[in-house]
Structure 1
Amino acid sequence: MSRKHLLLHGWDSAYEKEAWYPPLTDSLSGITKEQALWKPQGEPANSIWENVSHLIFYKERFLKRLTGEETEYPTGITNDDTFSIGGATDEEWERTLSRLKEVHLGIRAKLEEMEEERLDEKIPQTPIGIWMTDLVAHDAYHTGQIILLRKLQGSWPSRRSFE
């Protein structure tokens, strides 16, 4: 199996095809605006919506780097800034989910058409293949956070059966 096929498998598993953990799309299925904005009391935590905004930020940066539209990290933006959300309306939540899908599938399309050798190309210092691997792990990490938030809300089962 080629590196490209392994990356496509990881990319698909992280987003929409269950493998060893639930994919991001399952973790976001049926979430209302209120659930997306909810945060547990007491300790500072990012909401589901903030986590999704963060994922979109880094996926959009990567896609822009793949296309040559952007080569450097935007100045004046910290990692904490990437968790911010726009207007907290039902329509904006739906637009956020649409942006996530669009950028994820956009990256997938670029990877699918990419020659295997390009995975070693650095943008700007990191090889494309490493970027992809890191983004898969990043998605899995934040999917786990989203599921934990849903469990705390009571909107995700505490246990799942795979039988």
Structure 2
Amino acid sequence: MLDTTFDKESWYAPLKDAIEGLTAEQANWKPTGEATKTIWENLNHLIYYKEKHVAIMEGREWTQHLDGNETFYLTDQSNDDQEWKKVIERAEKVQDSLRQVLNKTAVEDLDQDYLELKLVNIMLHDAYHTGQIIQIRKMQGSWPSHR
């Protein structure tokens, strides 16, 4: 499930496919008059919660406490494609970190502190926001027609 929500297509598109090929300008776009977040903001939000979860699983202290709305603004948005690329790389890095820490976690430890439930929630959270990202791309006309 961790792989299918990020980079292995199952019966729905994974997050990596949903952000593939986007420019910074497209990642910053939102429909006029709509109460929605940009693709960049959604990716910020997903990164924050995964980074927090990885830190907790690794036993590191988490000091960057943001409320739910603040997480959408984790990184500054711009029309700079290099900055957008850094955000994508950060998303890939935290996904790899989550995979690594999960691979080191004993099955018995998944019951501890509801860890298994928290992991499932992270994955469902990714799937939910991936759907939003795809919808935004469809609205802006940047979602590939072959999908």
Which TM-score tier does this pair reach, normalised by the shorter chain? over 0.9
String of CA shifts for 1:79-123, please: whole Å, max 9, x gaps: 11000131512221111001100001101111112110010111x
1:39 CA drift (Å): 0.5
Identify the residue that residue 121 of structure 1 maps to in structure 2: 112
TM-score (norm 1): 0.84
Q: Does 1:56 align with 2:47?
A: yes
Is structure 2 residue 26 aligned with structure 1 residue 45?
no
Task: Say if 1:155 and 1:87 are closer, same or farther in 2 by CA, change over 3 A.
Answer: closer
Quote the sequence identity (%): 42
CA contact (8 A) 1:39 1:47 kept: yes
Matching residue of 2:143: 156
Q: Following TM superposition, where does structure 1 have runs of at least 4 consecutive aligned residues deviating by more than 3 angstroms?
A: 157-160
2:20 and 2:81 mapped to 1: Cα distance? 14
Unaligned segments of structure 2, at least 5 residues: none
Larger Rg: 1
Q: Contact between 1:13 and 1:19, CA under 8 Å: does it hold in 2?
A: yes
TM-score (norm: length of structure 2): 0.92
Distance in 2 (CA, whole Å) between partners of 1:148 and 1:157 is: 12
Give the unaligned 5+ runs of structure 1.
1-9
Output the aligned Cα RMSD.
Answer: 1.6
Contact 2:5 2:15 survives alignment (8 Å) = yes
